[in-house]
Structure 1
Amino acid sequence: MSSKEKPTLGGTRIKTRKRNITAPLDPATFADAVVQIYLDSAGDLELVVKSIESSDLDFSRYGDTFFEVIFTGCRTQPGTIKADEGDKHPYSVLATEAKREAILPFVLYIQKILRRRPFLIKNLENVMRRFLQSLELFEENERKKLAIFTALTFSQKLSGLPPETVFQPLLKGNLVAKGLVLTFITDFFKEYLKDSNIDELIALLKKGKMEDNMLDFFPTAKRSADGFSEHFSKEGLVSLVEYNQKKMFDIRLKEMKSALNSQIKEETEISEVIENVKQQVRDANMPETDVVRILWDVLMDSVQWSGKNQQQNSNSALRQVKNWAELLNAFCTSGKLELELIYKVQVQCYEDAKLIKLFPEIIRSLYEQDVLAEDTILLWFRKGANPKGRQTFVKSLESFVKWLEEAEEEE
């Protein structure tokens, strides 16, 4: 039996897989086209936006080139900020004045472009990163324009631009060493704080992973807390200086609490503990009232509390007061500081359910250990200013105060 040929349809074409055909890259032609739009619009950014909207330019392919034209007026040579061959327009960010009112329209213009073409945010990141890493290649006036522009992109909430895109590229060793980064970031802070408050600036720095590393903007020789305060005070950024001082104070406070807590748990000699605390107080320039509060907090935090057993809690707290009275005595050196300690005890007993009934016993113990003077206790009893639980605590202390007054009369 002969094999039959399979029937075929005449004139059919066998399909073959097409290869992906890509148009050759031609960023120069794209750049010239965008430049021409600027020239035809005479730099009117509203007209530029309309012309760009009606154009068929391939922004997805040449996004970096597009932002180069916005910043410099032309395409730049690969990996540099030098102008490439081709057309150029005089209406760029770097060609305008180094003033807010001159640069803000460019930020708003870019916002409009990004709303219509959000994919371009990545190209803006690329170009800004490259320019910021090349600060030394710009003139001083151009660096200021970049700083103002960058600050405005954040204060005006330019959509999608991550803060780390700005802050991290600045940390190149040679740029920091020459002081270029410090000058740039100072101009940035000044401009940003015109629209925003210090809390918003700190939140921005936190997103950019720089809140705890602001000294990295400083050349090594100036990288200190005093250098930070001196520089930004001179530049009029007092709110930033105050924030940093508070932050440094909080860090030292935390370190002091941690060290003191360890020494108490290890039952270090009281004399050694006192000297350590005094040294930390001097280093941090810590107010005396804060020291008193810290000491009491740490002492009470170190107590082994026993849940609902009131008597055991009372015994533990009083034992702690007795054991560390010498430490409290070393820093409660005036009636004002003694009164501060009473207020601290009052607030803690008011806010902590397991301590609320211990107030009179603690005050009596502090008196017996010579931490609190009779006059201070009587002053608090008669004229104490803190209202938290005051009526309850005054009533609970009446019998002890009566005893003090009678002893005073006998003397």
Structure 2
Amino acid sequence: MSFVIERVFLCRVVSSSQEPPHLCMSTQANTTANKPTLAGVRLKARKGAVKAQAKHEPNVFRDQLYKHLETVPEGDFDAYTNKLIAAGVTLEYLKYAEALFNILLVGGLLQPGGTYVEDGAPLSPFSVNNAAEPPKVEELKKYVEVFNKLIRRYGFLSIDRLGANSYPSRNAIRYKYLQKPLEETALPTLLQYVNKWPEGRRDKVAMTVGLMIAQGLASASCLLSLTKDHLVKDGMSLTVVTIIFRTVIAEQGMDVLAGHLKKGGIKDMMLFLPSTKRDLKHLEDHFKSAGLPQVVEWYVKKQYAVVREAVTSHLKEMCDENESDERIIAYIRESQQESPLPEPELVHCIWQGLMSSVDWPSARPDQIEALTIKEVTRFTPIMEPFCNGPKTEVALINVIQVYCYEDTKIIKTFPQILKVLYNKDCISDQAIVYWYQKGAKPQGKQHFLKATETLVKYLQAQEEESEEEEE
């Protein structure tokens, strides 16, 4: 209480006004102290805030990049690489990644629609667009190697050449972070403009993209931009993708291209064809005439695999639901009409689908052989209508050989399975003998040949007897 009275008294003495004591106390309580400041000192903003507020000026970036490149003698690719590595120290490559790749690939900044920005600027001293026409892979490799060194390899530069204040403490750098905008933004954007460019520039970019994919510098996912309607309808997509495929195959082969396409999410090749020509015949005619029959072979095998998986799965479901043999056979025939498979592929599906429905875990080890023979016998009426000709029959024997090799619990039943199929007219004696002599698969070959030796000798003896009777 004494503290309050003293406070009020002091307030009355100091204040020149005759305000009531309670007002003076309220004013004192609500007054906030000013924070101290230092004259001549500026607060430093965060880097992220500064970048967010900075202007996006690709034309300024382009002009600064040109200053680094224009001093290099034409054709000195090592010097261009060093200049690009050096320029990245002061220029914002990540911020202007799309502008950077536009400059390095087509020679300048592009505006929406694929044409150059019209501001009077010359084309870049260095770009893929500067390559001679008609373009050659060997020359374009030199340009791609510049990208490779810039993004994936370390560049070594002297601190003295750059200036101690403009270069980090270590003198080995690379711009790995540029690979993502290259394959996710720059290339997809450029490829959607190919119909606007002259043939020479289009082919240079397409071949360069092929080299980048072959070397793993870019993902094949960038090709998805070629499935847009304005490129597909007049055949431009197919033309460009053919150049890209030819380049990758020449460098790495079809298997590598197939791997890149799978990894890049290219699931349906038909999307590159005009909507009125999306069938196997047009695809086959185009790539064979382009000298790339391996693309057709790969695509056909890929489609067979999809159909085979669907048929196998559905056959298992039908067996699990105890559908009749007649309905299963009808389904297989309907499937063949819709998506025909070669007969050797078809018998593979049928065998896998039927045998996958067998409940192996419930059988004791001593019952496996009897169960196998029982189930194979049950399935023969379904297989027999589709075992037409020696080639298909040998294919079926090979399927069974590999199946028994991979499932060791039934490996001993292989000769008995052949006997059942022979007795039920699914395979002929000629097919068994041919398989034994020169048609067996390498998986467990010696074991299976030895196991069927007795059966083969019996069949050969039967054939000799029948020939003697005919004479």
Mapped pair 1:209 → 2:265:
yes
- Cα distance, 1:24–1:257 mapped onto 2, change above 3 Å: closer
Mapped pair 1:254 → 2:284:
no
Mapped pair 1:102 → 2:106:
no
5 Å-filtered alignment, 1:312-391, equals 312-333=367-388, 341=396, 345=400, 348-349=403-404, 351-359=406-414, 361-363=416-418, 365-366=420-421, 369=424, 371=426, 379=433, 386=440, 387-391=446-450
Q: Corresponding residue for 2:79?
A: 47
The structure 2 residue matched to 1:274, chosen from 329, 353, 359, is: 329
- Cα distance, 1:77–1:371 mapped onto 2, change above 3 Å: closer
Residue 186 of structure 1 aligns to which amino acid in structure 2? T
State how far apart, in whole Å, the 2-side matches of 1:285 and 1:390 are.
33
TM-score, normalized by length of structure 1?
0.78
Q: Corresponding residue for 1:59?
A: 92
Q: Corresponding residue for 1:138?
A: 197
What is the root-mean-square deviation of aligned Cα atoms in Å?
A: 4.1
Residue 310 of structure 2 aligns to which amino acid in structure 1? E
State how far apart, in whole Å, the 2-side matches of 1:301 and 1:294 are.
11
State how far apart, in whole Å, the 2-side matches of 1:404 and 1:144 are.
66
Mapped pair 1:154 → 2:213:
yes
The structure 1 residue matched to 2:117, chosen from 83, 102, 108, is: 83
> How far off its partner does 1:188 sit?
0.8
The structure 2 residue matched to 1:222, chosen from 277, 280, 285, is: 277
Verify the 8 A CA contact 1:215 1:224 in the aligned structure 2. yes
State how far apart, in whole Å, the 2-side matches of 1:127 and 1:335 are.
54
Q: Deviations over 1:91-150 (max 9, x none)?
A: 432243232233222212223333433344455454333322222322232211110111
Q: Corresponding residue for 2:162?
A: none
TM-score, normalized by length of structure 2?
0.69
Verify the 8 A CA contact 2:314 2:353 in the aligned structure 1. no
Verify the 8 A CA contact 1:306 1:313 in the aligned structure 2. no
- Cα distance, 1:313–1:181 mapped onto 2, change above 3 Å: same
5 Å-filtered alignment, 1:235-314, equals 235-281=290-336, 284-307=339-362, 309-310=364-365, 312-314=367-369
> How far off its partner does 1:357 sit?
4.4
Q: Deviations over 1:44-83 (max 9, x none)?
A: 4433344455557423354443333323433444775323
State how far apart, in whole Å, the 2-side matches of 1:369 and 1:354 are.
24
Residue 168 of structure 1 aligns to which amino acid in structure 2? L
Verify the 8 A CA contact 2:110 2:116 in the aligned structure 1. yes
Point out the more displaced range, 336-345 or 30-39.
336-345
Q: Deviations over 1:25-62 (max 9, x none)?
A: 55434423433444433434433344455557423354
- Cα distance, 1:290–1:365 mapped onto 2, change above 3 Å: same
The share of aligned pairs that are identical, in percent, is 26
Residue 108 of structure 1 aligns to which amino acid in structure 2? E
Instruction: Point out where structure 2 has 5 or more consecutive residues left out of the alignment.
Output: 1-5, 12-36, 154-173, 441-445
State how far apart, in whole Å, the 1-side matches of 2:65 and 2:394 are.
73
> How far off its partner does 1:152 sit?
1.6
Q: Corresponding residue for 2:104?
A: 70
Residue 176 of structure 1 aligns to which amino acid in structure 2? V
Q: Corresponding residue for 1:7?
A: none
5 Å-filtered alignment, 1:178-193, equals 178-193=234-249
Q: Deviations over 1:216-255 (max 9, x none)?
A: 2222112222222221111111111111111112222222
Secondary structure of 2:447's counterpart equals coil
- Cα distance, 1:131–1:315 mapped onto 2, change above 3 Å: same
State how far apart, in whole Å, the 2-side matches of 1:331 and 1:404 are.
26
- Cα distance, 1:235–1:369 mapped onto 2, change above 3 Å: closer
State how far apart, in whole Å, the 1-side matches of 2:346 and 2:212 are.
43
Secondary structure of 1:82's counterpart equals coil
State how far apart, in whole Å, the 2-side matches of 1:382 and 1:117 are.
59
Larger Rg: 2
Mapped pair 1:93 → 2:128:
yes
Verify the 8 A CA contact 1:308 1:354 in the aligned structure 2. no
Secondary structure of 1:111's counterpart equals helix
Verify the 8 A CA contact 2:383 2:426 in the aligned structure 1. yes
Q: Corresponding residue for 2:150?
A: 113
Verify the 8 A CA contact 2:68 2:83 in the aligned structure 1. yes
State how far apart, in whole Å, the 1-side matches of 2:431 and 2:149 are.
68
State how far apart, in whole Å, the 2-side matches of 1:246 and 1:264 are.
27
Point out the more displaced range, 17-26 or 97-106.
17-26
Residue 87 of structure 1 aligns to which amino acid in structure 2? A
State how far apart, in whole Å, the 2-side matches of 1:26 and 1:290 are.
59
Verify the 8 A CA contact 2:248 2:257 in the aligned structure 1. yes
| Count of matched residue pairs | 397
Q: Corresponding residue for 1:6?
A: none
Residue 41 of structure 1 aligns to which amino acid in structure 2? V
Q: Deviations over 1:280-321 (max 9, x none)?
A: 345555444444444333333322335552554344334334
